[in-house]
A and B are shown apart, each in its own frame.
Chain A
Amino acid sequence: MSGSKIKYMQKKGLTFEYIEDKTCILDEKHDSIITLNDVGTFIWKNLIKPIDLQELNDKIIKKYQVGQKEAFSDLKKLITLMKKHNLIVKIDAP
């Protein structure tokens, strides 16, 4: 699967808060708030240390019992959004 060699993690110094099963993240660049639902929160928590998309996708499938393709498509969309809002950074895998 494409992109599996690249790892991502949360950008340091971000302001965010877990509220019940949601996560609110302050997007300083756009002066707005991004709210993640429970699945987004699960992904966000896994991004606390470098992780590649394949590994992350496997975790989502295991936790939410969804199809691999569907999960990966949604994951890529969320990662794209997080990149756009400067919430995550790309890490070169060793």
Chain B
Amino acid sequence: MILYLRYSNLVCKISSPEGWNKYFQKLYENSDIIEYSEKPLVSRCQANLDIVEVNDKNIHLEFITYRNLTKYTIKASAYPLFLFPSVHQFVSRIFNILHHLSGGFVLHASSILINDKAIVFVGESGRGKSTLIDLIHKENPQYTVISDNSAFISRQKGEYVIYPSPYLEANRLGSFQSRAVKRPPYKIHSVFFPFHNSVNIIKSLDFEDRLQLTKINSHIPYQADIVFSSQEKKEFAKKVFGFITKVPMYKLEFAKDRRVIYNLKKYVR
């Protein structure tokens, strides 16, 4: 069956096995920024995703997109997908690619609005992204949690902004009751790279550290099993370069107590 998703300025036409529309519909219902349709959507920038083979072990994808009149194809394999978390992973992968193609990038990060300022915690699993969000939100339930695991970042009018994930994340966001007071995107105030410690210390990072930490925590093109060309990687490096030179970035060593919130607030005035 054929279905269409519009994300930002990009339309993705998806050819999928029968029954798959329910997964995408589910996404549509939960997203402010994805448009779902079974009728054709039109955009100057179109990507075609063909699910060419599905079996019980993995899925083979062929992702064809057109940009600057250049057609290119990305072939990839994804994890088993018949159980919900796996479908979820697969779909998240598509949106990561779409966001990348529409000029943005996706980081492994949680984020929260503190007094209308978006604070982003970037890090690998186990670094404390969710712990920090839990700590802050427990203490300040009026703050809006933007994302728990993936930060969709774009540049708009010279500023870096974050969108909530277009897909459900790890079923955790439902536990946060606060609602955004204004619609996304949110301007990014600062980025923290968390590390567990017994004390709370916040340090500024030099640009090389910013680059390396941002790269290793990006969903694509460095960490996915999707092969990007060297040109794609260069484009990505340029995007990240703008981000790390414009947005304040810090190393956040923290103990699991309230003092980390006090420390953070000093940086978010």
**A→B interface (CB under 8 Å):** 15, 17, 19, 24, 26, 28, 31-33, 35
Asked if A33 contacts B234 (CB within 8 A), the reply is no
What is the size, in residues, of chain B's interface with A at 8 Å between Cβ atoms?
A: 15
Distance to closest chain A CB from B103 (angstroms): 15
CB-CB < 8 A to A33: which residues of B?
207-208, 210-211, 241, 244
Encode B236-255 as 1/0 by CB contact (under 8 A) with A: 01100110111000000000
Partner of A28, one of B208, B234, B245: B234
How far is B214's CA from A33's CA once the two chains are assembled, in angstroms?
Answer: 13
How far is B206's CA from A17's CA once the two chains are assembled, in angstroms?
Answer: 14
CB-CB < 8 A to B244: which residues of A?
33
Asked if A17 contacts B208 (CB within 8 A), the reply is no
If over half of B's interface residues share one DSSP class (helix, strand or loop), that class is named, otherwise mixed; here it is helix
- For A22, give the chain B residue with the smallest CB separation: B207
**B→A interface (CB under 8 Å):** 206-208, 210-211, 215, 233-234, 237-238, 241-242, 244-246
Instruction: List 6 A-B pairs, minimum CB-CB distance, nearest first.
Output: A17-B245, A26-B241, A33-B207, A24-B207, A33-B211, A15-B238
Distance to closest chain B CB from A37 (angstroms): 12
Distance to closest chain A CB from B220 (angstroms): 15
Distance to closest chain A CB from B169 (angstroms): 29
Asked if B206 contacts A26 (CB within 8 A), the reply is no
How far is B246's CA from A15's CA once the two chains are assembled, in angstroms?
Answer: 13
Distance to closest chain B CB from A77 (angstroms): 19
- For B210, give the chain A residue with the smallest CB separation: A33
CB-CB < 8 A to B234: which residues of A?
28
Distance to closest chain B CB from A85 (angstroms): 13
Partner of B237, one of A17, A19, A24, A31: A31
Asked if B207 contacts A15 (CB within 8 A), the reply is no
CB-CB < 8 A to B207: which residues of A?
24, 33, 35
Partner of A35, one of B206, B215, B238, B246: B206
How far is B206's CA from A35's CA once the two chains are assembled, in angstroms?
Answer: 9
Asked if B206 contacts A15 (CB within 8 A), the reply is no
- For A31, give the chain B residue with the smallest CB separation: B237
Partner of A17, one of B210, B211, B233, B241: B241
Distance to closest chain B CB from A41 (angstroms): 13
Interface centre among B208, B233, B241, B245 (most CB of A within 10 A): B245
CB-CB < 8 A to A15: which residues of B?
237-238, 241-242
